[in-house]
Amino acid sequence: MTQTIAEPPTSAAGSSSPLPPLFADLPEVFRPHWNADAPWGLLGDPLDEVLAALPDDAIEIRLGPDVHLCGAPVAIGRGSRIGPGATIEGPVFIGRDVEIRPGAYVRGGCWIGDGAVVGASSEAKRAILLPGSHAPHLNYVGDSILGRGVNLGAGTILSNFRHDAAEIVIRHGAHRLPTARRKLGALLGDGVLTGCNAVLHPGVVVGRNTQIYPGVQLRNGVYLADRVIKLR
């Protein structure tokens, strides 16, 4: 059986239009750093600065004995639930009413907004999960930003590293957008949904409310808002 790898829309070839709309409302800490032409910039110095400004110990919940903390700072807001066997590495911010399920691995450099979910045996590494975004089942979220209301189907992988270790350059029609990053996963706009076992290659940008069907592989590039992407 042959698996289709989805390409960015060819209709954008030669277009100099801006990237599709991604996030309707960024958290206050990121707004001064926002650049709509290079949204991946939030994953660089701005994220480091936000996490470095956290207090050394701002854990507002009681942690069970099977939760593993290492590094600093670690901030966890009221109402959040951290399941047994979860490992959390600082620096990390976890907002209010977040759910970190059993066996999850939250690596250093993550900012996880209110009401977000990192599921059982899922891994998040240097990622921003905006409030209400879900990576609930066996997901890898590396060097990525998930918009509000994003839901990753079981087994969805946001790959973040080229085999040749070269800079991630994002294709946008006939244009090439340099990112100055060797590691960059996906930027998923508000409301994006992925089906089970979808794989997004390094350097994917998906506009708001687009649905990605199960088993789809998305090549590096820019995908428009309000679309449906499926295997052919």
Annotated catalytic residues are 137
Q: CB–CB of 186/206 below 8 Å? A: yes
Determine the Cα–Cα distance for residues 215 and 200; give it in Å rounded to an integer: 10
Q: Report the chain's terminal Cα–Cα distance, integer Å.
A: 12
**Closest listed residue to residue 94, CA positions, set 42, 122, 129, 63:** 129
Q: CB–CB of 138/55 below 8 Å? A: no
Report angle CA 65, 58, 140 to the nearest 5 degrees: 65
State whether the Cα torsion 11-13-17-22 is positive or negative. Answer: positive
Tokens of residue 167, six digits: 């800079």
Q: What share of the chain is helix, strand, coil (3-state, %, to 5)?
A: 10, 35, 60
In DSSP terms, which residues pair with 200 in a beta bridge? 158, 218
* Side chain identity at residue 146, one-letter code: L
Q: Could you check whether the bond before residue 91 is cis, i.e. omega within 30 degrees of 0?
A: yes
What is the DSSP code string of 106-139?
A: E-SSEEE-TT-EEEET-EEES-EE-TT-EEEES-
